[in-house]
Structure formats: structure tokens, C-alpha cells
Amino acid sequence: MKNTGQSSTSTEQLQSHIEKLQTQFDELSAKLKWYEEQFRLAQQKRFGASSEKTDPNQLDLQLFNEAEVLATTEEADAHVETITYSRKKPSGSREAKLDQFPVETIVYQLPEAEQVCYCCGGALHEMSTETRSEIKIIPAQVKVVRHVRQVYACRHCEREDVHTPVVTAPMPRPVYPGSFASPSILAHVMCQKYVESQPLYRQEQQFARLGLPLSRQTLANWMIYGAEKWLSHLEERMRVHLLRQDVLYADETTLQVLREPGKAPQTQSYMWLYRTGRMGPPIVLFDYKRTRGGEHPRDYLQGFHGYLHVDGYAGYHKVANTTLVGCWAHARRKFDEALKVLPSTEERKGTVAQQGLQYCNQLFVVERDIKEKTTEERYAIRKERSKPILDAYLVWLCQQRARTLPKSAVGQAIAYSLNQWEKLTSFLEDGRLEMDNNRSERSIKPFVIGRKNWLFANSPRGAKASAIIYSLLETAKENQLNPFQYLNYLFEQIPQLSDVTNGEKLDRFLPWSTSLPDVCHITKS
């Protein structure tokens, strides 16, 4: 009996040990699979194509197109064959594209002594001409402009009176008193850095090659002064107009600022973006902050009431009086990444990742079809076509969640859609809304590209100035303005205002104002 008891106890211990080892094995296998997925995803991001487009042949789900697949058209005539083809539409002559530019004409003539017929010796006359056109580039040139104004006095009063009146000719106020900075060079340096992504040290070298010694410190001071003294008033006015809209977009990205008080140079700060949507004037605003806290969009958007397109970041929940609209591009990207991390030897067709991707694709097909529709039509078609897809997708998500490892790539994709479901379905409420937050991601991309070139901001003042300048330039681009000509116009005109805080006067200089001169607008060929 004693031996039997010991044997039974030993068997139970072995069984418990086996179960424990099996649990550890399952956990390690799941962890190994996760690391393999992360490795393949990192390899794909580094070496693979960045496009997230799906093969059109993979768009169909039997769930949605069963009727179309099985149905036949009774009226179709088997003896009628329809042949279609496409060809590139002529875009107009090359000469027409050059009409907007000044023309320099060079005429080549025979010397008068050679205008004699080599056959009979008679005089030659002009029969026709042959013409070719070339594009000539005039490189940047530096020119000094001296502003000299005359001072006048009365000779009679000089001789006869005790007091002699003196009259001085009017002269425009300078954009930066006490410096060599002109409106054009301020506009040029800003556009080179914030539109063309040329860091100040490269511009310093370019000016040196032109024979003009300008240090990057001088250029930086010019940028900060121009932004704080003049452009900041326009940026504040643009924010007033932004908060009046019903639909906005928001996004954020990192920024390194070297000399932030109380922070190490290696720590990250953030550049926040807010912009308008389909309705109202195009407005793009940047806001520099030290952290990613949700209090920043809450404070910046204080007074706004309406819909706010965002990504999955929870900080936007602090914005009051708003309905958050989620981003289906992010939801779709999760399944796209889950599909890409599958081993190359594994069949992708019919996988959970592909099924989730197809549900998202079906929604985007609807959006592509209603892109040019009116607000009312978009709302009605979404209720008719997108709502059934969403209902089926939600059922599928709930089914798959119980069958999928939570930490796997496809498990995280499913969890994202379920966690964001309320925001992801908000676009059904209003035809003005969009399915994704791509509009703000496109607007923040110029900053991200510029950051790769100039890497960091030296100080909080510099970061704030950059936010102001980016706001003006990106909004100008959205309103089809020439960035250089627009900034040059601002720096010429705004210093002449008696009150730069007057909202009505500043509105005449906003990028969508009809009062802007033609030179500020991009000439369309």
C-alpha cells in the first residue's frame, strides 16, 4: 500500500511537471513566433516595397459578391463582342507650357554682303524662318538695394524765418530694422529650409559660393525674428478660422530640441498638426510642444465643436465637445503587416490576415466610388453599401478574436479594430467625413522630410518659429500659392501696417484671401 501510494504521487508529480513544461513550451513557441514576425516585418520595412496596394484580384469576398458571381445577364448576346482600348490623351504642345515665361529672342541673319543668290547673283529676300526654343536658367544672384530718401527744406524760410520746415520723402519700413535682411532674402531662406528641406549650414555654403558671407547663426536669427515679429500674427488669425470649422484633422510626430530646459538633448519633443478637411478654406497649422500629452490638443482646440479625425492615440480623448473619427488606413495597415510577416513558404490566400485585409478593401472600394459625390450622396451610399460590410466585419472580428493569439501580428490587427470600433464607424454619421486620417498624414509629411535633413531644432524658440513658418508655407501650398512670392509679399506689406493685431486687416493677407495679388498664385500652364 505504501509503495502504491508513492507510485501514485510520483505519477501525479510527473504529470504536473509535464503540463508545466508544455505550458512553458507553448509560451516560448508563441514568443518565438512573435519575434519571427517582428524580424520579417523589420526586414520588409527595410528592404521591401512600401506600397500597401492590394492585387485587384484579391479584393472580392464571396460574402459580398456572391450575387454578382453567380448571376448571368439574360439579355446578353453571345454573338456580340465588345472590344475596348485606351490611349494616352495628348496633353497639348510643349510650346504651350512655356507661354507663362518671358521670351528672349535671338535673330540670326546673313550679312548684307552675303544676301546674294549664288546661282544668278540676284538679291535674296526673306522667304521664311526656322525657330527652336530652349529653356534658359538664370542662377541666383545677389544684389544690394540701397534705399535713399530725399530730405527737403525751404530756401526762403532758411533765409528769412527762424524755423525752417523739413520734409522727408516717405520710405517703406524695413522688415528687420538694423540688419541687411530684405523681404526677398527672408522669404528665400525660409523657403529653402522649410519647402526645399535645405538646412541652414548648406545655405551658408551656397551664399559663400556667391561671395556673400552669411553665417548660419545670422540666418537662424532672421528666421526667428521674421516668424515671431510678423508671421505669428497671421498664424494666430488662421487658428481662429480653424476653430470655426466643423470637421478637423490632427496628427503628431517627434522632434528633437537640443536646449530645452530640464530635458536632455536626446529626449523627444513633439510637433502637432491640425488642419481642415473637405469644407472651408484649406488651413494647416503646426504646434510645437515638449511632450505628447493629451492636454496639448485639448488646449489648442479649445472652443472647437465637431468631428476630429485622428489615429489610435488615446490622448485625443481629452479634447472636449468632439466626436473622434478613426482611421481605417491604420486598421488596414495592421492586416497588411500581418500578411507580410507570414513566412515566404506559407500560403497567404485564405489566411485570417488576408480576410481582414479584404474587409478593409471593400470599404475603400466604396469610398473610391463616392469620392466625387455630394455630401448627401456620400452619406446615403455609405448607409446602403458600407454599413452591411461593417456589420459583417464586426461579426468576423468577434469570431476570430477567440481563435487567434493576442500578441501575434494578426491578433493585434483584430484587437486594434475592436478597440477602435466606435471611432472607426463614426464616418457613417456625416458625408463630410472621411474614412482615414491620410489628409493630416500628407500634411505632416513635409515636416518629416525636412526633419531628416536638418535633424533637430537648437532651442524652443527655434522650434516654435519652425512651427509658425511651416503653418504659413503649408497652408500657402494648400491654397495653390507660390511659397516664395507669398512670403515676399507678406514681408513687404505687413511691416507697413499700423496695427499688426487687427484681425480684419490681417485677413486680407491670409493664404485663401481674394485680395492677394496675382504674383502670389501659381501660374497654371
Torsion of CA 164, 169, 175, 180, to 10 degrees: -80
279 and 404 part of one domain: no
* Domain stops at, among 436, 454, 487: 436
Distances (CA, A) of 460 to 97, 199, 220, 420: 44, 17, 13, 34
Q: Average pLDDT, stretch 68-86? A: 44
Let me know if residue 53 belongs to a domain.
Answer: no
State the DSSP string of 307-330. Answer: EEE--S-GGGGGSTTEEEE--HHH
254 and 318 part of one domain: yes
Q: What is the mean pLDDT of the chain?
A: 87
Let me know if residue 291 belongs to a domain.
Answer: yes
Let me know if residue 38 belongs to a domain.
Answer: no
Helical pair 387-401 and 352-369, crossing angle rounded to 10 deg? 170
Question: Which residues, listed in sequence order, are joined to residue 288 by a DSSP beta bridge?
Answer: 271
- 69, pLDDT greater than 70: no
> Can you give the length of the chain in residues?
525
Per residue in 143-162, pLDDT (tens digit) is: 999 999 999 998 888 888 77
Let me know if residue 122 belongs to a domain.
Answer: no
Let me know if residue 417 belongs to a domain.
Answer: yes
Per residue in 352-387, pLDDT (tens digit) is: 999 999 999 999 999 999 999 999 999 999 999 999
* H-assigned helices in 164-294: 183-194, 200-209, 216-226, 232-243
The distance in angstroms from the start CA to the end CA of the chain is 102
Per residue in 89-105, pLDDT (tens digit) is: 555 566 667 777 889 89
Q: Lowest mean pLDDT: which of 1-5, 31-35, 484-488?
A: 1-5
309 and 352 part of one domain: no
Helix (H, G, I), strand (E, B) or coil at 212: coil
Per residue in 228-263, pLDDT (tens digit) is: 999 999 999 999 999 999 999 999 999 999 999 988
312 and 445 part of one domain: yes
How high is the pLDDT of residue 44? 65
pTM here is 0.81
200 and 236 part of one domain: yes
How sure is the predictor about 8, in pLDDT bands with cuts at 50, 70 and 90?
Answer: low
How far is it, in rounded angstroms, from Cα 495 to Cα 120?
Answer: 72
Q: How many domains does the chain have?
A: 2
**pLDDT > 70: percent of the chain:** 86
Let me know if residue 32 belongs to a domain.
Answer: no
Distances (CA, A) of 377 to 191, 373, 385, 391: 40, 6, 12, 21
243 and 353 part of one domain: no
Host domain of residue 361:
327-436
459 and 489 part of one domain: yes
State the DSSP string of 117-162. Answer: -TTT-PBP--------------------------EEE-HHHHHH-S
* Domain stops at, among 392, 410, 436: 436
Helix (H, G, I), strand (E, B) or coil at 286: strand
444 and 316 part of one domain: yes
Query: Could you tell me which residues come within 8 angstroms of residue 14 by beta carbon, excluding any fewer than 6 positions away?
Result: none
404 and 463 part of one domain: no
How high is the pLDDT of residue 74? 41
Query: Could you tell me which residues come within 8 angstroms of residue 330 by beta carbon, excluding any fewer than 6 positions away?
Result: 311, 312, 416, 420, 436, 437
* Domain stops at, among 436, 471, 494: 436
Let me know if residue 366 belongs to a domain.
Answer: yes
Let me know if residue 462 belongs to a domain.
Answer: yes
**Per-residue b or e along 401-418, where b marks 16 or more CB atoms closer than 10 Å to that residue's CB:** eeebeeebbbbbbbbbbe
293 and 271 part of one domain: yes
**Angle value at C-alpha 14, between 11 and 19, nearest 5 degrees:** 125
271 and 370 part of one domain: no
Distances (CA, A) of 86 to 90, 368, 506: 12, 21, 50
Per residue in 290-310, pLDDT (tens digit) is: 999 999 999 999 999 999 999
Per residue in 306-332, pLDDT (tens digit) is: 999 999 999 999 999 999 999 999 999
406 and 481 part of one domain: no
